[in-house]
Structure 1
């Protein structure tokens, strides 16, 4: 799609949604104004009446946005995925629609891909490989993957090529998205647009730099050298550039194929458990984690000993975690296991969710109410929570909270730097585990796997920070201390 046409279509999409809301807002204002004329004062809008007026419009615009993003592809698919995971400020109709977005697009021609390959490496695919499949193995919004064989060794490799011109498309799309979010932000009770734009920009920067991805691949593989059942591809450095990533080909089947696991005698429960343990290790021990754990990024193999092996793919969204975020998150998870409300509040504070000038008392009160109601849910496994509609979970919040308090609460909440990737990865891993084995309770399994090392790290850190105590001095000048007393 030409850039100008893409710009026009995106502008029309967001403009149409905006105008529909302005018209609806005007109609609601007129109705309220008419009521005021009848009795001389403003009436508080009835929540049921508001829901009846706005819900159908939210549904229509959510479907409109979904279909528009599917048509525009590229950056808009990424934006939709970000909003589906972090857009808690949006009406539920939007997140429900955007959750269906998949990063799968029709592939581009091999001629176009071969041209991009030559432009990046200075050699054609035919010069680099003994043979290469012109039909792609997979195609996504930013690039596609082809299977090839190296010259000389005939080793099977996967070649990921960034689409030509994709960075220009990203620049145009980000301008439109920035405009749309800034307009939308005028109607929000908190400053969310800047955060979304920053997160999306950072995500796209990472996912369009294949040299960075190759480095992340090597680093993460190094963190798992002592765990032979977690496997990683290796980059072929001489055939890797910013726009081309060549790596060893990894066999296996999609991790959600539980039927194939059982056919091979593999236990889905073991696979789900090891997936949880590997994620908790990345997050809490390595502070370096895979931030895009969707089903397509994990394969399963049957090991020689009959046990499952998990293959990890796609390291474009790998991220580092700040220690204070991880320490706070660990304390929050501990509080869920021990039912410790004070530990929960300490963890949230430690992570940086409390705004400096916010209403701390209101925030703590709201969190406490939510926490106590959450603990009353007996089955908190991923599968049970996945069956519950998000609207049901939202009802855990304080129903007595007035809209003015809600606005103040939003202003009292910060979104700490780096939390986007942790939240994104945790939510995606949560759903993935539930698909593999609904009986797996990720929290106790993951915490048991990392708790000894995390507790030791915290102890060592506290010991290093504590001031050294001076040795007691003997004030008796010239008095010789007996050896037995000195060693006592």
Structure 2
């Protein structure tokens, strides 16, 4: 929700932004205990410096700046909040029960698929060994494609289910790109930088088949680098939540974008059906299709300001009230 600038009111998005990396923190004593449990070593034997104040704290973990004793390298240490895995797994059981009851009472509000997806993804997100694999895979895919986006490198000998150590990258908020004074002062071409970021997601989704499924502003940072064409490089953090896309889904997603770009109404609705959308034919006439694709193109086009985006999104949302599609989840994205 913090990323929905132009759709939600500004006061909402600014408040939700604090939830991305400014949640309450675990104490340094709790952090040390988790490190000790994970590596069977005292933190002082691994790190010669360890900043007790975290750089960021989110719902699952927090990140500290430290220096390795063995190499003197400055690193980032991601440490899971003690007991959060138990709490989250209990919460998903509660959520599943609530979703079952809600669907029975009010079939139009069937959120069971949400609960099912979270039940499947949470154990992986709570196990940092999965995140390590995703970091390594994504970094390799982007490097091979010549993309300048940065994915932190992991220290393989310092990685466990609740703690892992990665390279420290000095980077600022990606939202700085919206500040014209910042861009002028640092000679940053925001269009080049954002194009590279979009290419990174295209490479991951269409070439590799895996993509970062949680790209909010707390997980995408900006590293100034005068040697790159745009003057800065996006940094992609927190790879706990990823999604795999099958070949069939990749082709379908490509057809969706192609249909939108070429105003191909028939092609768009054909591919939506092939991706699992259940269409209510009595509600989907030619006028509705033309209006829908026009509004959809308006939402995704890159030449309008947030106020126009908000207007288009509102109009599009009103169209969905008729519920021409039955709810189904696809590729980790809940759709209507």
Equivalent in the alignment of 1:352: 276
Preserved contact between residue 207 and residue 316 of structure 1 (Cα < 8 Å): yes
> Is 1:165 matched up with 2:67?
no
Cα 1:123–1:172 change in 2 (3 A) is: same
Q: 1:415 aligns with which of 308, 328, 331?
A: 328
Preserved contact between residue 330 and residue 347 of structure 1 (Cα < 8 Å): no
TM-score normalised according to structure 1 size: 0.59
Q: For residues 255 and 79 of structure 2, what CA distance do their matches in structure 1 show?
A: 42
Preserved contact between residue 325 and residue 350 of structure 1 (Cα < 8 Å): no
1:62-92 deviation per Cα after TM superposition (whole angstroms, max 9, x unaligned): xxxxxxxxxxxxxxxxxxx69x99xxxxxx9
CA drift of 1:214 comes to 0.5
Higher relative contact order (CA 8 A, sep 6+): 2
Larger Rg: 1
1:265-294 deviation per Cα after TM superposition (whole angstroms, max 9, x unaligned): 111121122212221222222211111111
CA drift of 1:98 comes to 9.5
Q: SS of the counterpart of 1:147?
A: strand
TM-score normalised according to structure 2 size: 0.84
> Is 1:324 matched up with 2:257?
no
Note the residue ranges of structure 1 that are not aligned, 5 or more in a row.
1-80, 86-91, 424-488
> Is 1:237 matched up with 2:156?
yes
Cα 1:395–1:169 change in 2 (3 A) is: closer
Preserved contact between residue 139 and residue 150 of structure 2 (Cα < 8 Å): yes
Cα 1:127–1:295 change in 2 (3 A) is: same
Preserved contact between residue 210 and residue 242 of structure 2 (Cα < 8 Å): yes
1:425-453 deviation per Cα after TM superposition (whole angstroms, max 9, x unaligned): xxxxxxxxxxxxxxxxxxxxxxxxxxxxx
Cα 1:97–1:194 change in 2 (3 A) is: farther
Q: For residues 147 and 332 of structure 1, what CA distance do their matches in structure 2 show?
A: 42
Q: For residues 389 and 242 of structure 1, what CA distance do their matches in structure 2 show?
A: 44
Preserved contact between residue 298 and residue 309 of structure 2 (Cα < 8 Å): no
Preserved contact between residue 232 and residue 311 of structure 1 (Cα < 8 Å): yes
Preserved contact between residue 229 and residue 308 of structure 1 (Cα < 8 Å): no
1:172-210 deviation per Cα after TM superposition (whole angstroms, max 9, x unaligned): 222322222222222333472320111222332222111
Q: How many residues align?
A: 317
1:210-249 deviation per Cα after TM superposition (whole angstroms, max 9, x unaligned): 1110110000011011425221111111111011011011
Q: For residues 14 and 188 of structure 2, what CA distance do their matches in structure 1 show?
A: 30
Cα 1:139–1:416 change in 2 (3 A) is: closer
Q: For residues 246 and 77 of structure 2, what CA distance do their matches in structure 1 show?
A: 32
Map 1:194-209 onto structure 2 (within 5 A). 194-209=112-127
> Is 1:264 matched up with 2:183?
no
CA drift of 1:324 comes to 1.6
Q: 2:317 aligns with which of 394, 398, 415?
A: 394
> Is 1:298 matched up with 2:193?
no
Q: For residues 199 and 211 of structure 2, what CA distance do their matches in structure 1 show?
A: 12
Preserved contact between residue 327 and residue 351 of structure 1 (Cα < 8 Å): no
CA drift of 1:303 comes to 2.5
Note the residue ranges of structure 2 that are not aligned, 5 or more in a row.
none
Q: For residues 283 and 389 of structure 1, what CA distance do their matches in structure 2 show?
A: 27
Hey, which of these two has a bigger chunk of strand by percent? 2
Cα 1:199–1:141 change in 2 (3 A) is: same
